[in-house]
C-alpha cells in the first residue's frame, strides 16, 4: 500500500493518493477466473494457500496474505468473519491460519494460509456454484503488458487525476474492509 501526498503544483488535487499494489489481481489467470465466475451464484467454497515460511517480522498471516483476502472480496463482495484459528510450530517452521468467512448472502467461505519449509507456493480453490464447481484457477496466456507495468500505469493514472472519484472511493472502501477483516481474523485467532 502506498500513500503519497501530492505536491502543491496540482491545484484542487491536494491530499493523499491511496494505492494498493496487489499484483495477483492483475494476472491474466485471475482476470479469466473473474470472467468465468460472473453471474454464477456461490454456494460455498475455500481458498487454501501454501508456501514457504515467511521471514520473522512479516506480520500475522491475515495481513501478510491480505492479497488473497482481497482476492476473495473482489470475487465475492463484502465478507464477514465468523471464526478464525492460528496454529504454529516454530521449531518446525510451520504455521497455519484458518478463517471462516460469510458472504453477504450467508454463503460460507474458508480461507487457509499454510506455510512450511518445502511447501510449494500454490493456491488451491474449491468454489461451489449453483451450476458448477471450480477447483482450479484457469490458466490464461500472459498479457502483453507486464504485471508491474500495469500497476505503475494504474498508479500514474491516479497521480494524474485520471481515475474517477467514484473508483477511488470504491477502492478505498475495499482496502479498508480487507484491513478490518484481517484485524478481526487476528483478534479471533489470538483469543
Question: pLDDT tens digits for 26-71?
Answer: 777 888 888 999 999 999 999 999 999 988 888 899 999 999 999 9
> In the predicted model, is pLDDT for residue 9 greater than 80?
no
Classify burial at 8, counting beta carbons within 10 Å of its beta carbon; exposed 0-12, middle 13-18, buried 19 or more: exposed
pLDDT for the residue 182? 96
pLDDT in the model for residue 6: 40
- Rounded to an integer, what distance in angstroms lies between the CA atom of residue 89 and that of residue 96? 9
- Does the pTM surpass 0.85? The reply is no
**Confidence at residue 14, expressed as pLDDT on a 0 to 100 scale:** 54
List, in order of start, the domains of the chain with CATH numbers: 24-143+164-189 (3.30.360.10)
pLDDT at 124: 96
In terms of pLDDT, which residue wins out, 117 or 153?
A: 117
Secondary structure of 24-35 as H, E, C letters: HHHCHHHHHHHH
Examine the pLDDT at 2 and tell me if it is beyond 50. Answer: no
Give the model confidence (pLDDT) of 85-136 as tens digits: 999 998 898 999 999 999 999 999 999 999 999 999 999 999 999 999 999 9
Residue 15: predicted pLDDT: 60
**pLDDT number for residue 139:** 79
Task: Please report which residue ranges of the chain form alpha helices under DSSP H.
Answer: 28-37, 61-64, 66-76, 147-159, 165-189
Tell me the torsion sign for CA atoms 96, 98, 21, 119.
Answer: positive
Q: Report the pLDDT value the prediction gives residue 88, as an integer from 0 to 100.
A: 94
Residue 17 has pLDDT above 90, yes or no: no
| Between 87 and 137, the higher pLDDT residue | 87
Amino acid at each position: 500500500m502506498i500513500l503519497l501526498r501530492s505536491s502543491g503544483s496540482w491545484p484542487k488535487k491536494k491530499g493523499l493518493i491511496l494505492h494498493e499494489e496487489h499484483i495477483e489481481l492483475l494476472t491474466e489467470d485471475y482476470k479469466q477466473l473473474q470472467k468465468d465466475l460472473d453471474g454464477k451464484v456461490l454456494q460455498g467454497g475455500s481458498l487454501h494457500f501454501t508456501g514457504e515460511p515467511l521471514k520473522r517480522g512479516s506480520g500475522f498471516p491475515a495481513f501478510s496474505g491480505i492479497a488473497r483476502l482481497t482476492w476473495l472480496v473482489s470475487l465475492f463482495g463484502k465478507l464477514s468473519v465468523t471464526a478464525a484459528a492460528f496454529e504454529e510450530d516454530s521449531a518446525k517452521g510451520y504455521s497455519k491460519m484458518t478463517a471462516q468467512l460469510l458472504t453477504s448472502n450467508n454463503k460460507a467461505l474458508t480461507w487457509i494460509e499454510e506455510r512450511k519449509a518445502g511447501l510449494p507456493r500454490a493456491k488451491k480453490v474449491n468454489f461451489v456454484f449453483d451450476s458448477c464447481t471450480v477447483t482450479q484457477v484457469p490458466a490464461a496466456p500472459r498479457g502483453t503488458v507486464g504485471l508491474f507495468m500495469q500497476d505503475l500505469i494504474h498508479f500514474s493514472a491516479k497521480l494524474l487525476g485520471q481515475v474517477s472519484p467514484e473508483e477511488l472511493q470504491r477502492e478505498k472502501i475495499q482496502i479498508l474492509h480487507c484491513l478490518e477483516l484481517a484485524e478481526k481474523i487476528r483478534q479471533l485467532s489470538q483469543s
